[in-house]
Amino acid sequence: MKKQTAGRDNLGDLAPQFAALNDDVLFGEVWARESQLSAHDRSMITVASLMSQGLPQLEAHLKIAKENGVTQEELVEMFTHLAFYAGWPKAWTAFNLLKETYK
């Protein structure tokens, strides 16, 4: 996975410690533990969590998921399944973001 700089780029001036934890620990250390869990699987889990919560970070993580080899078909199946557990409107939102990400 490429080096993440979103924390520093977006919050570095306001919250430098939070930005460093985001970039260096979350994305630098946790996401790098591919012998424990692949980037593909981490993306699937992350997208499922964000979709379930209805969080705007879903859009960015769909792009990361695509880079990590998650297919549109896998995400369609995930969102269809999660619609019954997380909520129908959240699934609609997720599908619309998916269409934009994979067009």
pLDDT tens readout for residues 18-50: 999 999 999 999 999 999 999 999 999 999 999
Q: Indicate if the pLDDT at residue 1 is higher than 70.
A: no
Quote the tokens at residue 31.
């996401």
pLDDT at 3: 84
Structure token pair of residue 20? 């460093």
The reported pTM is 0.91
Is the pLDDT at 98 greater than 70? The verdict is yes
Distance, CA of 41 to CA of 78 (rounded, Å): 12
Provide the mean pLDDT of the chain. 96
Dist. CA 45–CA 39, nearest whole Å = 10
Residue spans in the chain of domains classed CATH 1.20.1290.10: 37-101
Q: What pLDDT sits at residue 2?
A: 75
Residue type, 10: N
Phi/psi for 54 (5° steps) reads 70, 35
Q: What fold does the segment set 37-101 form as a domain?
A: AhpD-like (1.20.1290)
